[in-house]
Amino acid sequence: MSRLAAALAVLVSLTASAAQAPKPKAAIARTAGKIIKAQSKLAPGSDGPEFREGRVTIFDKADHTEEFKVTPKTKVTLDGRPAKFQKAAVIGALVLKGLYDPNTKALASLDLKSGPKLDADDSLHGGTVHGEITNTDVIKGVLSIRAADKSMREFIVPETAKIIREAEGKPAEEIRIEALSVGDAVEVHSADGKTALEIHARAAR
């Protein structure tokens, strides 16, 4: 066999081996924590509305907030049983384990546990709540905070609500919800535990 023929034979052999080699699996990352925001998009289906896609924001154990994608292929369980994302992913639900693609942030699986249930009186009590902003929804006028007791709270912020920004060495100024940022320390005054009447905020350090 000539040298050229031998070289071609080796090249063909290497090419075949490369083609048969298994492709490396995509890296999978893991998260755990608590749901602070969830959104679902449904579309008409033959048997009623069908889940198309979703978004879930998780406040993890390292005190980081991150948003993930949810698809119809995402395996969702609640308290150990298969569940629909739009019903299982509610604010306060615990994320025992979420596996996702770090490049696309798409969840492959989401293992949830029901969060602690509030007594009827607890969800309606008024007063002042101190905490840290975890999310602001300017369009809906909703403010999400992690209270001093580590519980997650959501407040509706109507246009009539007074929002005051306080800073050392500067006079307090009235602002709008758009000026609030994740991480800001806030003091929320409410009469019913759901609707903010007045908010005092300090910028995150």
**Residue 13 reports pLDDT greater than 80:** no
**Residue 74 reports pLDDT greater than 60:** yes
Domain boundaries, the chain: 29-113, 127-202
Q: Could you write out the DSSP letters of every residue in 72-107?
A: TT-EEEETTEE--HHHH--TT-EEEEEEE-TTT-BE
- What's the mean pLDDT when you consider all of the chain? 83
Indicate the CATH number for domain 29-113: 2.40.50
- Taking residue 105's Cβ as centre, other Cβ atoms within 10 Å add up to 14
* Cα separation, 166 vs 202, whole angstroms: 5
**Residue 183 reports pLDDT greater than 80:** yes
User: Does 29-113 match 127-202 in CATH topology?
Assistant: yes
Class of domain 127-202 as given by CATH = mainly beta
The predicted model scores a pTM of: 0.53
